[in-house]
Chain A
Amino acid sequence: MATEENESTQRNTLVVRKSCFGLPTGCPQCLSAYIFLKFSQVQFSLDYHPNYPDSDQIPYFETGDYVTYNNEKEGIIECLKRDVGDLDTGVSSLPDWIATKVLLTTWLADALEYELWVGCSGSSAYNIYYSDLPWPIGKVLCWKKAFWVTQKHGISKDNAEVKEEEIYGRANSAYDALSILLGEQKYLFENRPSSLDAIFLAHALVVLKALPESSILRANFLERTILVRYVQQCTAEIIEASAIPSNYPDFHAEPSSSASKGRSTPGSKPKTKPKRKPQTKEEKTFRRRAKYFVVAQVVAVILFLSVRSGLGDNADLELDDAGYDLDE
């Protein structure tokens, strides 16, 4: 059953799937609705509906006796734009709007769906959607959904690799396009939040927090520093702007939390951050190159000195191997 909080005082309620991986909700659709409401600065409470994960009605937004379901009209975001305020006024007519929306709702959505259910063997997806159901029911529904995803993408044993390349290739193209579109801006369009920011931010947070470190999609995302910076900034702004009470699950500001840390319980704070942050790929590359540079400089100096002194003294120079490890 769904848990409740302050139902007598809160009239606006967003009902979502369960909270996990340090996120208010682990489901990308639910998270996009949550972020949209945060961007809209609407007061609302969060409630969970964990025992109906396969329903297309969730997320839904309650205002008194009025309810907006996700499977009505054009989805929860469009309904929220109508009910609480349109964030996209003035930007939805921009030339790149439609293309960006298509990128987010097709290529990136498919890539995340594939990665959750097929690419990572469904472990993250099980935690997000079915871990609150009794075991036999959760397992059957999870298997059913995974089978449906493979059927939807036309994946079979013969074309699995081809399909995977295609899906990841499109995701990479989308990430590149979004990086170019974003540039140095804080948001995708006109430096102000829009519904597409909510959708993309939700996608990014699930990729960074829910997927395991071995995920290819996650690794591809992390290579785009512009996108990583964008996620960090937006998340920090949401946390700062909302002044979330202590018993709400909230974002982690750093996107590099491992997905393998397990789920968080609804209404509880996330676990404490690890003391040592794991290095990103770029940082490792930078360190390696820095070492090469330093070693090269030292060798150059030594060679200069040796050649200069050798011309004069013909002295032997023993190069002391100080144990530089050039294998990093």
Chain B
Amino acid sequence: MTNAEEPALPNPNNHTKQSTNGDAEPHHQHDIEDEVEDEEDDEYDEDDDVVQQPNRGTPQSAASKLREQRFKVETLSRRLSSELVPIRVHDVVINGNTKIKDWVIEAELRDIENATSMQELVQASQIAISRLQDLEIFDSCKIRLEAGPRELPNTANVIVDLVETGDKVSGEFSVYTKPSTSSWTAEGALKYKNFLGYGDLWDASLAYGANQMTEASVGVHAPRVKGFLTPIMVRIFMHSQDWQEASSYKDRLLGASLGLISTEHHDLAYALGWRTLADPSQMSSRSIRRQLGHGLVSSLKYTFKIDRRNSPIRPRKGYAFLSSTHVGGLTRDPRSLRFLRQEFDFRFAVPFGFYNTALNLGISAGAVFPWGHGFKTKPSPLPERFYLGGDFSPVCTLGGPRTLWGFKTRGLGPTEPRRQNRDGSDDDDVDSSGWDFIGGDLAVTAFADFSFDLPIRWLREHGIHGHVFAGSGNAVKLTQNEYRNFSSRKFLESFRMSVGCGFVIPTRLFRLEGNYFYILRKGEHDRGKTGFRFSFSASS
């Protein structure tokens, strides 16, 4: 490019994040057009004659200078919109990084170095800014483009101006749905940024959810580790959950997890832990009683996920698919918990084009089996089985067969009678149902949800809408030779069904629902009740 009359290029945008971060990160959002008009920040010289410096030649009036630069910007814009403007990046200069290593930043700028046109360079700059901001360790990220050396035409220098965050410690609070617990979870976390200078993010978090689920964990997220293509996440956690009411046991897991691959669609993680199942009430049924004790968990979980729905809270268009494969017992010790678990989940949203109505459909299936010597007679591990139930909406959650409207959490599926006392004195201390939900080895759920705007304008403006829904699901035991008694007809005939209607109040973090459920079909010992209830749901 020669004799370009264009003014300097704008700085790429800093995008604002949608979160409830407690720290103050100044984000500057600019349009490209605004930046083009912000002439004082722009420097882009192809030719000495292009921009007249205040201390050179004949001083120009402010107005004529303004006109000249506007002309340059308009010319540049015309060229950029009509043709590819070839350019080559000569040098990349990083300013402002005091603690973080250069190679961590350079790894995010590789696309810039390979740009061959101005358009590509601008786009790569925007992507680089976004990636650098995702590291959460900079208060400000700006990229300037300057002319390259005079003897090398058609070149540009990229100047990266960074301001590392002064507040290394930040806090965060979030609410989400955890598929493994089939319930909402509230989590608070403290984060410490860039401790080692690798863009590492350390956090200590405390989570609390339904069924007295508590989890304390400490983790580190390293975005750039040499030799690895994706960020590495390591977490040490202690997790406990009380399933006394539904299944007469408490679950405690102490362990560590290593996130090996974490991209938009793929997630691979390894977990090693010490699991203990206990029953302080001493009322558990036979099969649960026999599984109480200690176990070594060494498992690898791979999740493939695509979510093309237009909204996680109220999807009206698109589809989503999830496949999760979980293999346990990855040690030489045959006494560790050996199992193979597979889940599928498919969602589809069909818009109808009026009053924001949409039909959401979904079907989920999952199976779990033990493996190893004598697997035909062994039971599957209790915590890995499928437990259906829970009033929160399956529309938001994506994670295998879990919920069924109208039924309590772990409120349907295979059951076993609890222990009976000869004097009957202990029966009053626990739920009087007298049955434990022991989970199924095979589970299938399906739902249909028709959502629509309400006629009141104020409600529409705040996203409050109504919905009518129907759900169905079933779970059966297949292990310990029970698969010989399995029949598809019996399985289909024993599907539970429920219908209902209600309203939904979506917020930024979760959706609050008030629904009336009507149980069409349920099992003998299922915990499902017709009636009106409130529930919280969050996207998973």
State which residues 275-303 of B face A: CB under 8 Å.
282, 285-286, 289-296
Any chain A CB within 8 A of the CB of B422? yes
> Which residue of A is nearest B295, CB measured?
A51
With A65-B417, A134-B331 already in contact, the answer to whether A1 and B296 are too (CB < 8 A) is: no
Bound Cα distance A224, B46 (Å)? 107
In the complex, what residue of chain A is closest to B274 when comparing beta carbons?
A: A137
B7 within 8 A of A: no
Complex Cα gap A64–B285 (Å): 11
Please tell me if the beta carbons of A141 and B333 are within 8 angstroms of each other in the complex: no
Is the pair A52, B292 in contact by a Cβ cutoff of 8 Å? yes
Q: Indicate whether A49 reaches chain B with its CB closer than 8 angstroms.
A: yes
A98 within 8 A of B: no
* Contact residues of B: prevailing secondary structure: loop
Could you say which of B274, B335, B422 has the most chain A C-beta atoms within 10 Å of its C-beta? B335
Q: Is B335 within 8 A of A57, CB to CB?
A: no
| Bound CA span A65–B333, Å | 34
User: Which A residue sits closest to B426, measured CB to CB?
Assistant: A72
B291 near A1: Cβ-Cβ < 8 Å = yes
Question: Which residues of B lie under 8 Å from residue A2 when comparing CB positions?
Answer: 290
In Å, the complex CA distance between A12 and B102 comes to 71
Query: Does B378 touch A at the CB level, under 8 Å?
Result: yes
Q: Is A66 an interface residue (CB 8 A)?
A: yes
Which residue of B is nearest A131, CB measured? B335
Q: Contact at B291–A57, with CB atoms within 8 Å?
A: no
Minimal Cβ-Cβ distance residue in B for A54: B294
Choose from B293, B331, B421 the contact partner of A49 (Cβ within 8 Å).
Answer: B293
The secondary structure that dominates the A interface is loop
- B155 CB to closest chain A CB (Å) equals 59
Residues of B within 8 A of A1 (CB): 290-291, 378-379
A1-54 interface with B by 8 A CB criterion: 1-2, 4, 15, 49, 51-53
B336 beta carbon closer than 8 Å to chain A: yes
Taking the complex as formed, is A67 at the interface, i.e. its CB lies under 8 A from any CB of chain B?
yes
Determine the chain B residues whose CB is within 8 A of the CB of A133 once the complex forms.
294, 296, 335
- Chain A residues contacting B418 (CB-CB under 8 Å) are 65
Select one of A49, A65, A137 contacting B420, CB under 8 A: A65
A134–B336 touching, CB < 8 Å: yes
With contacts A1-B378, A69-B282 taken as known, whether A141 is within 8 angstroms of B294 at the C-beta atoms is: yes
Residue of B nearest to A71 (CB): B282
Q: Is B72 an interface residue (CB 8 A)?
A: no
- Considering only CB atoms, which chain B residue lies closest to A2 in the complex? B290
Chain A min CB distance to B253 (Å): 12
Let me know if A132 is at the binding interface, CB within 8 A: yes
Nearest-neighbour CB distance to chain A for B252, whole angstroms, equals 13
Q: How far is the CA of A83 from the CA of B421 in the complex (A)?
A: 12
Does any Cβ of A come within 8 Å of B419's Cβ?
yes
Which residue on chain B has the smallest CB distance to residue A64? B420
The answer to whether A135 touches B292 (Cβ under 8 A) is no
Q: How far is the CB of B424 from chain A (nearest CB, A)?
A: 11
B contact residues around A72 at 8 Å (CB): 282
**With A and B bound together, what is the CA distance between A69 and B282 in angstroms?**
8
Q: Is A55's CB within 8 Å of the partner chain B?
A: yes
Tell me the bound Cα distance from A133 to B295 in angstroms: 7
**B290 contacts A137, CB within 8 Å?**
no
> Which residue in chain A gives the minimum CB-CB distance to B336?
A134
- Complex interface bits, B416-435 against A, C-beta within 8 A gives 1, otherwise 0: 01111110000000000000
A67 touches which one: B289, B291, B377, B378 (CB < 8 A)?
B289
Among A15, A52, A83, the one with the most B-chain Cβ atoms within 10 Å of its Cβ is A52
Q: Of B289, B296, B420, which contacts A66 at CB under 8 A?
A: B420
A134 CA to B419 CA in the complex, in Å? 29
Does A278 have its Cβ within 8 Å of any Cβ on chain B?
no
Query: What is the CA–CA distance of A52 and B292 in the complex, to the nearest angstrom?
Result: 7
Interface string of B325-351 (1 = CB under 8 A from A): 000000101011000000000000000
B282 close to A52 (CB less than 8 A): no
Cα–Cα distance between A4 and B377 once the two chains are bound (Å): 9
Partner of B294, one of A4, A67, A69, A137: A137
Interface centre among B274, B290, B378 (most CB of A within 10 A): B290
Residues on B lying within 8 angstroms of A by beta carbon are: 274, 282, 285-286, 289-296, 331, 333, 335-336, 377-379, 417-422
Other contacts beyond A52-B294, A55-B292, A134-B336: 18, CB < 8 A: A1-B378, A4-B377, A49-B290, A49-B293, A51-B293, A51-B294, A51-B295, A51-B335, A55-B293, A62-B286, A65-B417, A65-B418, A133-B294, A133-B335, A134-B333, A134-B335, A135-B333, A141-B294
Sample 6 A-B pairs with CB under 8 A, ordered by A number: A53-B293, A65-B417, A65-B419, A132-B335, A133-B335, A137-B274
Q: Which 7 A-B pairs have the closest CB atoms?
A: A52-B293, A51-B293, A134-B296, A2-B290, A65-B420, A67-B419, A134-B333
Binding site for B on A (CB under 8 A): 1-2, 4, 15, 49, 51-53, 55, 57, 62, 64-67, 69, 72, 83, 132-137, 141
